[in-house]
Each structure stands twice: as structure tokens, then as C-alpha cells.
């Protein structure tokens, strides 16, 4: 059991560069509070800007436009896909931990929710790296991009903006594309990867739902209308609307309304 506050403990996990140790520390922190143990909320100092979270030297980070696309009909293409999703899940661990560390004035349930997300992202990362190893590769063997963490840095000033743009844009995009990936993999007979992706898809719906819940909570606190505010943030930070196609069933389960989805499609 750690003697650190929830904020300091989350920061220690966030800045751990060794993936296996980050996974272990994150899951241990979740388990510590899993039975509604009282949260220790006495922070040791000011909130620091985290331009670079704890990560290994590999994978080499490149621009998203320089990431090579490979066909899923080849073993190399499927391994590239698994590596790319592994990197997304690794970043997602850090995003959940940063949401705990950074935003100090939220209800206890907010921290419990993001501890759950962090632990499940750690599980997803572990499942993917095991699958990657079965395919003959290690995490870090291929290049990756850092778009997800870049948005974390851009939204580190405001919890409402973070809840809007990370869970409800970037993680929700994972909901949109995963069913199509599963269908394409079904033609290759890669049942092992499909099994992993189905677990991730089901649990990511819950993660986006948590983001939607706390986004709407923040909107209520600030007295702003959630759907129009979300569209305004998309224009400010993303330059416009979201690209489809959308996984409507998953997004509706994750806290988007039918009216909101209609408006997003028309943007």
C-alpha cells in the first residue's frame, strides 16, 4: 500500500518509463482503491506540466502523416496494426493517470472512475503486447505517432476541455474504427487478434461513457450547454467536425445522444 496521495501516486505511475513496471504500478494503484478505500487527497506540491510522460526510448515517434499503412492480408500488416494499437493503449494509460494527477477539485468518484480506466488500459496494453510477441515482435520494434498525448498537453489547463476532447473524440474514434478492423481481420482468420480487439471495444465504450459523464458534470458546474459547447470545442481544437463513419450503437451507449450524433454528422 502506498503512503502517497492519489495525485502523487498517479504521477509516479505516469512518469514510469518501463512499460511492464507502469502496468504493474497502475494495476496495483487501482486495486488499492477498488474496495472503496478512502482516497488520500493531500498533494505534495503544485501540478506540473507534463510535456513528455514516462515512456521507453522505443518506439521512435514520427509524424502521423509519415506512419506507413500495411495490408492486413499480410502477417507484417497485422503485426503493424497490433503495434499501433499497443501504442495507443500505452498512451491511454498515461492519459487516465494524468486525468487523476492534474485535476484536483473533482469528486472522489471521478478518481475511482479514471483509476478503473487506467487499469483496463494497462490490461489492454498487456494483451496486445502478448499478441505482438506471438507474432514475432516487441513493443517498440516499429515507429508510432504521439497524437493522443499531444492532445493531452493541449488540454491540460481545463478538465472540461480534457473530458470533451480526449475521451469523446480520440477514444471515441477507436469505437468507430474497431468494428471495421474486426470485420477485415475475419477474412484473414486472425482469431487471436480479433478476440483481443473485442475485449478492448467493449471496455472502451465504458471509458468513453466515463468521459461523457464527467464532461456533462463539468458543463453543469459551469452552466454551459453540453452539445453546443462540444461543437465549439471541436471547431477550436480540431478545426471542424468529426470524420465518419461513426459506430452509432457504441457512441450512443457511451453517452452521445441521437440529436448530438445528427449534429456531428452534419458538421
Q: For residue 138, give the DSSP letter.
A: -
Last residue within a domain, chosen from 150, 174, 202? 150
**Do residues 80 and 129 share a domain?**
yes
Instruction: Work out how many domains the chain is built from and give that number.
Output: 2
**Do residues 130 and 231 share a domain?**
no
Instruction: Compute the Cα dihedral for 134, 138, 144, 149 and give only its sign.
Output: positive
Q: For residue 115, give the DSSP letter.
A: H
pLDDT of residue 267: 75
**Do residues 141 and 176 share a domain?**
no
Instruction: Report the C-alpha gap between 185 and 80 in whole angstroms.
Output: 13
**Do residues 39 and 123 share a domain?**
yes
pLDDT of residue 1: 58
**Do residues 117 and 211 share a domain?**
no
**Do residues 17 and 144 share a domain?**
yes
**Do residues 145 and 162 share a domain?**
no
Last residue within a domain, chosen from 150, 185, 209? 150
201 grid coordinates = 471495444
**Do residues 135 and 46 share a domain?**
yes
26 backbone dihedrals φ, ψ, rounded to 5°: -65, -45
pLDDT of residue 65: 76
**Do residues 6 and 26 share a domain?**
yes
Residues 74, 81: contact at Cβ < 8 Å? no
Q: Helices 108-134 and 75-102 meet at what angle, rounded to 10?
A: 160
* Number of neighbouring beta carbons within 10 Å of residue 236: 10
Instruction: Report the C-alpha gap between 149 and 52 in whole angstroms.
Output: 8
161 backbone dihedrals φ, ψ, rounded to 5°: -65, -40
For each of the chain's 267 residues, which pLDDT tens digit applies? 567 899 999 999 999 999 999 999 999 999 999 888 889 998 778 899 999 999 999 999 888 777 777 788 899 999 999 999 999 999 999 999 999 999 999 999 999 999 999 999 999 999 999 999 999 999 999 999 888 888 999 999 999 999 999 999 999 999 999 999 999 999 999 999 999 999 999 999 999 999 999 999 999 999 999 999 999 999 999 887 788 889 999 999 999 999 999 988 887
**Do residues 225 and 118 share a domain?**
no
Last residue within a domain, chosen from 98, 129, 150? 150
Domain residue limits at 54: 1-150
Q: Helices 19-33 and 6-14 meet at what angle, rounded to 10?
A: 160
Question: What contacts 253, CB < 8 A, 6 or more positions away?
Answer: 205, 209
**Do residues 169 and 145 share a domain?**
no
**Do residues 33 and 138 share a domain?**
yes
Q: For residue 66, give the DSSP letter.
A: G
Residues 207, 120: contact at Cβ < 8 Å? yes
Instruction: Report the C-alpha gap between 212 and 157 in whole angstroms.
Output: 18
Amino acid at each position: 500500500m502506498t503512503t502517497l496521495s492519489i495525485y502523487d501516486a498517479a504521477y509516479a505511475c505516469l512518469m514510469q518509463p518501463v512499460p511492464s513496471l507502469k502496468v504493474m504500478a497502475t494495476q496495483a494503484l487501482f486495486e488499492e482503491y477498488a474496495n472503496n478505500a478512502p482516497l488520500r487527497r493531500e498533494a505534495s506540491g503544485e501540478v506540473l506540466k507534463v510535456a513528455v510522460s514516462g515512456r521507453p526510448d522505443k518506439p521512435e515517434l514520427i509524424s502521423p502523416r509519415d506512419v506507413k499503412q500495411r495490408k492486413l492480408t499480410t502477417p507484417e500488416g497485422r503485426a503493424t496494426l497490433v503495434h499501433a494499437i499497443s501504442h495507443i493503449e500505452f498512451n491511454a494509460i498515461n492519459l487516465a493517470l494524468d486525468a487523476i494527477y492534474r485535476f484536483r477539485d473533482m469528486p472522489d468518484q471521478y478518481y475511482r472512475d479514471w483509476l478503473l480506466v487506467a487499469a483496463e488500459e494497462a490490461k489492454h496494453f498487456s494483451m496486445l503486447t502478448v499478441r505482438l510477441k506471438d507474432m514475432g515482435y516487441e513493443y517498440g520494434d516499429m515507429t508510432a505517432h504521439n497524437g493522443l498525448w499531444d492532445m493531452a498537453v493541449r488540454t491540460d489547463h481545463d478538465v472540461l476541455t480534457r473530458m470533451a476532447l480526449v475521451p469523446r473524440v480520440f477514444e471515441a474514434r477507436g469505437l468507430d474504427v474497431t468494428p471495421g478492423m474486426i470485420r477485415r481481420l475475419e477474412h484473414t482468420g486472425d482469431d487471436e487478434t480479433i478476440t483481443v480487439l473485442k475485449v478492448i471495444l467493449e471496455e472502451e465504450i465504458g471509458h468513453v461513457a466515463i468521459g461523457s459523464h464527467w464532461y456533462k458534470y463539468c458543463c453543469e458546474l459551469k452552466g454551459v450547454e453540453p452539445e453546443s459547447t462540444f461543437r465549439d470545442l471541436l471547431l477550436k481544437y480540431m478545426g471542424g467536425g468529426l470524420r465518419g463513419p461513426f459506430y452509432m450503437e457504441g457512441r450512443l451507449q457511451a453517452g452521445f445522444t441521437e440529436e448530438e450524433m445528427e449534429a456531428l454528422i452534419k458538421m
